[in-house]
A and B are shown apart, each in its own frame.
Chain A
Amino acid sequence: MDGVLLSKLKNLIKKTVESSSTADHGASGEECKTMLDALNKVTACYRHLVIALGSTSDSQNLREELKKTRKKAQELAVANRNKLTELLKDKTTSKDDRAEYERLWVLFTSSMELLEVDMKRSLEIGQEFPLKVPTRHLIQTGMTGSTTTVAARAMSVQNMKYDADSNIDTADLKELQTEITQVGQMMEEMEMKVQVAPWAVEAKQEAGAELKSTLSVGNSSVGVISICEEDARSCPGDENCCVCIPNGTDSPYSPLL
């Protein structure tokens, strides 16, 4: 092949490689966001479950839900970390892409922060409130329903299946301890390997952005708010009656039975 043709061929190959790598980055970015959304969802569900620990909503099932959700969270965490580290280590990314990946990185580390704390708390509370004892001493918090739908949401399944042993409340704790250490180590490693300055990241959402979403908070909660608003008209000075308890329309507080 003569020289001119050869160099033209080389240029063509180079351009194809470049464009495909930027295309790759586009797809990778989207992939990353999806994975982060999943991690975010599981983190929120996990926190919800930990809040129920030690209360009258606590049960063998809850402990199993916690375990499964936790493991799912860790899977997602590792997947996210690998993907993001790969993206951030690539020197050929454009400045804009890099800024975006750093933003995603901050989202990831924030999620991991919450997850780590919640794991530690679930260990502590789980130890304080064992289930397999002659008399359980769970705090009567008013919450009595099951958390199975929350866990199902975390696991992205229709229905949760329960197959754990009856001693899960104590057996799982040892595993949990190991996992907590692992998460801690992973986070340390992450900080070493990837040099992202979190304070340099700018959020995309402005203040009050959450109000603009089309998220409907749910029928019953809207019902709660509307009741409160009615009350606000009847007792305008007292903001307290609308705070959380949807009160009856006439009395400022509901009588206890």
Chain B
Amino acid sequence: QGCNTMTSRTSSPLYHPTMTDPDMGVKMRNQRLLITVIPHAMTGNDVIEWLIQKYNITEEEARHLGGLLVQYGYIYPLRDPRSLLLRSDDSPYRFQTPYFWTSSRWPASELDYAIYLAKKNIRKQGELVDYEKENYSILHKRINHTWDFVVMQAREQLRASKQRRKADRIVLECQEQAYWLINKPCVNMPLYYHYTTTILLRYYYYTTIIHRRALGRNRVKSSICLESFMKYSEQYLHHDPIMSGCLPSNPWISDDTSHWTINTDMVGTPTRLRVERWSFSFMELLNDSMGRREFMIYLEKEFSAENLCFWVACEDLRHGESSKIILKVEEVYKNFLAPGAARWVNIDSKTMERTLEGIKRPHRFIMDDAQMHIYFLMKKDSYPRYLKSELYKNMLAKAIVPQETKKSVFPFMRRQRHSSPSPAMVTQATEDDGKAKGAGPTGTSSTTNSQI
């Protein structure tokens, strides 16, 4: 139980103040190194004794707990620094400074490690330990772009330490070394983790591809984006029923549905606004079924109607039923792509080659390249000519501009709202064929209401 309270604290077990307290903490001794005396050293034994007393735990628990403190770097051994054990004898240990406590918030960085190795290199006149030499050369390659900084900073950090008195300098070196023994980043991959290596390599490979692709994407400056958005808004301002109202009147307000009826797909004479929109962009023209029909008429005059037919067939393939895909691809090929086809479309050779290859394994998007080619052909060539043609101009002249309905004389008078017959009722009425009409439960009153 004592162990749990100690290690469950979020920041560190030494946040509990008494362990390092001069009066109530672990017994402190001096460490003498030749003529230098460094305070605040403790024996492993003392640490364990203190833990036993403080937390009222067994020696085994205390050893385990103390061992954790050493493993995680809150306490470090002064003799045998690489052996991260808490020995229950007079082996010397010392508390680590808060900056060097292991923390997931502050993971050790490769840059810091490189600086440390460079410092050690200077201090040891090049005599680094084997794995340190390896790590050094790996880091030198990996973060080469900032290596000058590594050297500069290493030198300056050493110069700063030189300012301290000798005892403190020694402690600093021990602290740093202890920290890096535990926290050095895994610069090298151990050989026997081959399986993990391959997984990691694959991960890196794909991440690199994704990032390369992202780098290569076209980016548009927001200033340009916003400009085109402004242009779009200006262009469509008069076509927006909310911003500019709609003629003859807004059906939701006036209950007059003429706005909808004069704008249906295949109405006799289109509205002027609608025909104007065909000139905004090619997609506007194609998306309007009447526009498409008109465009088809024009293309037939120019003997290039097969382009639009092909485009329509490709759209049908893309958005149609999966079960009919193979059939449709065959049809498209027969009608538009096969040599000598009735409505052969003029696609460049590369795209044609690719498409014909792809037809062997047909799927929904197999015609995309060809479709796009024809789309751009029409957009650049036929579409601008259509807009200048007599056909279009006549359409525009013929188009109607509905009159705005006069507002009622008493504008503030509220019209009585009445609901239209419920669709459920309509189906019932047709079911009750022959029975008395209008014999539904509630809605019948609506038909007898008069408009005010």
Chain A positions within 8 Å of B, measured between CB atoms, are: 37, 40-41, 43-45, 47-48, 50-57, 103, 106-107, 110-111, 113-114, 117, 121, 124-125, 128-129, 135, 137-145, 147, 149-150, 152-154, 198-205, 207-211, 213, 215, 217-218, 220-221, 224-225, 227, 239-240, 243-248, 252-257
Contact = CB atoms under 8 A, between A and B. Distances in A.
A256 B146 contact: no
B125 A256 contact: no
A140 B40 contact: yes
B197 interface: no
A54 B151 contact: no
Given A204-B148, A246-B33, A153 B154 contact: no
Q: Which of A111, A201, A207, A218 has the most CB of B within 10 A?
A: A207
Contacts of B97: 51-55, 139, 141, 143
16 contacts: A40-B149, A56-B40, A113-B111, A114-B153, A140-B40, A145-B164, A147-B163, A211-B121, A217-B122, A217-B158, A218-B162, A221-B162, A239-B129, A244-B173, A248-B34, A256-B90
A245 B174 CA distance: 8
Given A44-B157, A199-B145, A221-B169, A243 B41 contact: no
A215 B155 contact: yes
A41 B152 CA distance: 9
A106 B149 contact: yes
Contacts of A114: 111-112, 153
B175 A141 contact: yes
B371 interface: no
Interface of B: 11, 14-15, 17, 20-22, 25, 28-34, 36-41, 43, 78-82, 90, 92, 94-100, 105-106, 109, 111-112, 118, 121-126, 129, 136-137, 140, 144-149, 151-175, 177
A154 B156 CA distance: 10
Contacts of A138: 20
A107 to B, nearest CB: 5
A254 B121 contact: no
A186 B28 CA distance: 46
B124 to A, nearest CB: 7
Nearest to A41: B156
Nearest to B112: A114
A200 B145 CA distance: 7
B81 A244 contact: yes
Given A140-B20, A215-B122, A254-B31, A202 B145 contact: yes
Contact of A57 (B20, B78, B168): B168
Contacts of A227: 34
Given A145-B167, A247-B33, A139 B14 contact: yes
Nearest to A239: B129
Contact of A48 (B17, B33, B95, B160): B160
Contacts of A199: 145
A100 B146 CA distance: 13
A96 to B, nearest CB: 16
B166 A141 contact: no
Given A48-B157, A252-B79, A253-B92, A217 B147 contact: no
Contacts of B82: 240, 243
Contacts of A147: 163-164
Contact of B171 (A142, A150, A252): A142
B11 A128 contact: yes
A51 B145 contact: no
Given A110-B111, A145-B164, A137 B20 contact: yes
B170 A141 contact: no
Contacts of A111: 149, 153
Contacts of B105: 124
Contact of A44 (B136, B159, B171): B159
Nearest to A118: B99
Nearest to B38: A142
A255 B95 CA distance: 18
Top 6 nearest A-B pairs (CB, nearest first) are: A137-B17, A44-B156, A203-B147, A54-B98, A149-B163, A140-B40
Contacts of B95: 139-142
A40 B149 CA distance: 8
Contact of A153 (B14, B28, B121, B163): B163
Contacts of B118: 210
B174 to A, nearest CB: 5
